[in-house]
Amino acid sequence: MVAPGFVLAAPKSGSGKTTISTGLLRVLSEQMTVAPFKVGPDYIDPGYHLLAAGRASRNLDPFLLGGADTVRSLYHTGAEDADIAVVEGVMGLFDGRFDPHGDVLCPEGSTADVARQLGLPVVLVVDTRGTAQSIGALVRGFATAHPQVRVAGVIFNRLASAKHEAMLTQAVQAVGVPVVGAVPSFPAIELPSRHLGLVTAVEQGQTAEAAIAAMADHVRTHVDVSALIALAQPPTVNTTPFAPLVGVARAHDLLRGNAPIPGDAAAHPDGPTVAVAAGPAFSFLYTEHLELLAAFGATTVLFDPLHDPLPEASALVIPGGFPELYAETLAARDDVRRDIHRLIADGGVVYGECAGLLWLGRSLDSHRMLDVVPTDAVMGARLTLGYRQATALTPSPLTAEGMRVCGHEFHHTKLVSTPEEQWSPMWGWRDNDDVPMREGFVRGKVMASYLHLHPAAMVDQWRQLVATLA
Active site residues: 354
Distance CA(312)–CA(279), nearest Å, equals: 18
Residue 181 contacts by C-beta under 8 Å, 6 or more apart in sequence? 20, 154, 155, 156, 219, 222, 223, 224, 228
Query: Quick check: helix, strand or coil at residue 410?
Result: strand
Going from the C-alpha of 451 to that of each of 207, 386, 447, the distances in angstroms are 31, 10, 11
Q: What angle do CA 397, 430, 399 make, to 5 degrees?
A: 10
Q: Which residues pair with 149 in a beta bridge?
A: none
Alpha helical stretches, state H, 200-248: 201-204, 206-222, 225-231
42 within 8 A of 197, measured Cβ to Cβ: yes
Distance, first Cα to last Cα, the chain: 36
Q: How many CB atoms are located within 10 Å of the residue 176 CB?
A: 12
Assign 392 to helix, strand or coil. Answer: strand
Crossing angle of helices 17-29 and 206-222, in 10° steps, is 90
Alpha helices in 54-123 (DSSP H): 62-65, 68-79, 111-118
Instruction: Compute φ and ψ for 237, nearest 5 degrees.
Output: -115, 160
Helix (H, G, I), strand (E, B) or coil at 81: coil
Q: Peptide bond preceding 260: is omega within 30 degrees of 0, i.e. cis?
A: yes
Q: How far apart are CA 315 and CA 227, in angstroms?
A: 48
d(CA 372, CA 330): 14
Q: Nearest-CA neighbor of 53 among 95, 7, 22?
A: 22
Strands 84-88 and 34-39: parallel
Residue in 399, 466, 469 with CA at minimum distance from that of residue 439: 399
- The candidate with the shortest Cα–Cα distance to 470, out of 350, 250, 296, is 296
